[in-house]
Structure 1
Amino acid sequence: MAFHEVRFPANLSFGSQGGPERRTDIVTLASGHEERNTPWAHSRRRYDAGVGLRSLEDLEALIAFFEARQGQLYGFRWKDWSDFKSCPASRTVSAEDQVLGVGDAATDRFALMKRYASGEQAYVRPVAKPVAGSVRVAVAGLPQMEGSDFMVDTVTGLVTFFEAPARGARVTAGFEFDVPVRFDTDRIQVSLASFQAGDVPSVPVVEVRL
């Protein structure tokens, strides 16, 4: 997939509207009961990049970013200000935020993920675009050092240990992350007069599967 490892200007994504989207197929039976199913294992997020524009300089930055990505052609990173940490937004990232797995003395690679729980139900979201320098890792509760104990691939979200964690050792991590997205349009329509009057263009952005 054509993807640029560059983040959309965070000051422009701040205040943007958006969030997760699900797809559910619903069939209503003759009895009135419903059959529900989904073809999607994971949710997909959508945003509007135009909402955060506050000045002509912001508009120029948006157009420059749009042109450099050639519209929908290249994907990019997006900071979702409502959900960009492995922990609640009010807390500081900790090496024990998320459980990645349990060691077996052979597996040395673990994928970053974030768990969303409500009651007895939970959804595990793969995290493929961690922010460089933000990843904290622990094995059996003991903090590990990046560069000497493990390395992180910020392109794939994989954590690789130089020595496989011992059998039964819980592997945990904390991190900040971006959402892989692309523009969902090949056109930006803007009128300078209407923009100065407070009318901002709609610039849809959609999450991409990696």
Structure 2
Amino acid sequence: MSFHEVRFPAALSFGALGGPERRTEIVTLANGAEERNSPWAHSRRRYDAGLGLRSLDDLEEVVAFFEARRGQLHGFRWKDWGDYKSCRPSGELTVLDQFLGEGDEERRVFQLVKRYGQGAGAYDRPIAKPVAGTLIVALDGLLRLPGEHYSLDETTGEVSFVHPPDAGVRVTAGFEFDVPVRFDTDRIATSVESFRAGEAPDLPVIEVRI
């Protein structure tokens, strides 16, 4: 899959409408009971990028970005203003925000994840597009240093330790992240008159798997 490591203008994604979706297959049995199943292990996010546009200059900037991605052809990064941190959007990052796993003296690579919910029903979302310079990592609460103790692949969200963490050691992290997406259309249709009247173009964006 072709992916460009560039972010859709963050100021223009502010105000966009969107969020996660799931796919659930429901079968109603003869007795009225339901059987429900989901073929998706992970949710998928959709957004409408057109709702964040407020001026003709914004529109020109988005058209240029759309053309550079060749429509649906190339993926890109998207900032979801409602969910872009390992903590609450209003909070400050800490090394204890997210649990990545436990050491076993052999494993060196840990995938960034964000957990939603509590207990047995919690959902761990893989984070593939961390924001450069925001990651902080700890082993049993002790801050580790990038370069000296670990490295981060910013294109996959994998944290690689120089030495495997000791058995039972908790690996935790705090970070900001983007959503990997692509345009879900090959066409932008608008007019100057309609845009000035407050009618934003329909510009769907959909999450892609990395």
Deviations 1:18-56 (A, max 9, x none): 000000000001100000001000000000000000011
Q: Specify the alignment match of 1:126 in structure 2.
A: 126
Q: Specify the alignment match of 2:9 in structure 1.
A: 9
Instruction: Provide the C-alpha distance between the structure 1 equivalents of 2:127 and 2:119, rounded to a whole number of angstroms.
Output: 23
Structure 1 runs (4+) deviating above 3 angstroms are: none
Identity between Structure 1 and Structure 2 (%): 64
Instruction: Provide the C-alpha distance between the structure 2 equivalents of 1:141 and 1:197, rounded to a whole number of angstroms.
Output: 54
Secondary structure of the corresponding residue to residue 114 of structure 1: strand
Pairwise CA distance, 1:118: 4.6
Instruction: Provide the C-alpha distance between the structure 2 equivalents of 1:126 and 1:172, rounded to a whole number of angstroms.
Output: 14
Secondary structure of the corresponding residue to residue 19 of structure 2: strand
User: 1:59 and 2:59 equivalent?
Assistant: yes
- For 1:30-109, list aligned pairs within 5 A: 30-109=30-109
Secondary structure of the corresponding residue to residue 50 of structure 1: helix
Instruction: Provide the C-alpha distance between the structure 2 equivalents of 1:120 and 1:140, rounded to a whole number of angstroms.
Output: 23
User: 1:114 and 2:114 equivalent?
Assistant: yes
Pairwise CA distance, 1:119: 6.1
Instruction: Provide the C-alpha distance between the structure 1 equivalents of 2:164 and 2:36, rounded to a whole number of angstroms.
Output: 42
Pairwise CA distance, 1:90: 1.2
Instruction: Provide the C-alpha distance between the structure 2 equivalents of 1:60 and 1:132, rounded to a whole number of angstroms.
Output: 27
Instruction: Provide the C-alpha distance between the structure 2 equivalents of 1:127 and 1:22, rounded to a whole number of angstroms.
Output: 17
Pairwise CA distance, 1:110: 0.4
Code of the residue aligned with 1:44 in structure 2: it is R
TM-score normalized by the length of structure 1: 0.98
Deviations 1:127-181 (A, max 9, x none): 0000000001000110001111111000000001111111111000110000000
Code of the residue aligned with 1:47 in structure 2: it is Y
- Structure 1 vs Structure 2 CA RMSD: 0.8
Deviations 1:54-96 (A, max 9, x none): 0111000000000000000000000000000001111111111
Q: Structure 2, unaligned stretches of length 5 or more?
A: none
TM-score normalized by the length of structure 2: 0.98
Secondary structure of the corresponding residue to residue 51 of structure 1: helix
Q: Specify the alignment match of 1:196 in structure 2.
A: 196
Instruction: Provide the C-alpha distance between the structure 2 equivalents of 1:84 and 1:200, rounded to a whole number of angstroms.
Output: 25
Q: Specify the alignment match of 1:18 in structure 2.
A: 18
Aligned residues: 210
Q: Specify the alignment match of 2:172 in structure 1.
A: 172
Pairwise CA distance, 1:121: 1.6
- For 1:132-171, list aligned pairs within 5 A: 132-171=132-171
Instruction: Provide the C-alpha distance between the structure 1 equivalents of 2:118 and 2:95, rounded to a whole number of angstroms.
Output: 22
Code of the residue aligned with 2:160 in structure 1: it is T
Q: Structure 1, unaligned stretches of length 5 or more?
A: none
Instruction: Provide the C-alpha distance between the structure 1 equivalents of 2:57 and 2:10, rounded to a whole number of angstroms.
Output: 14
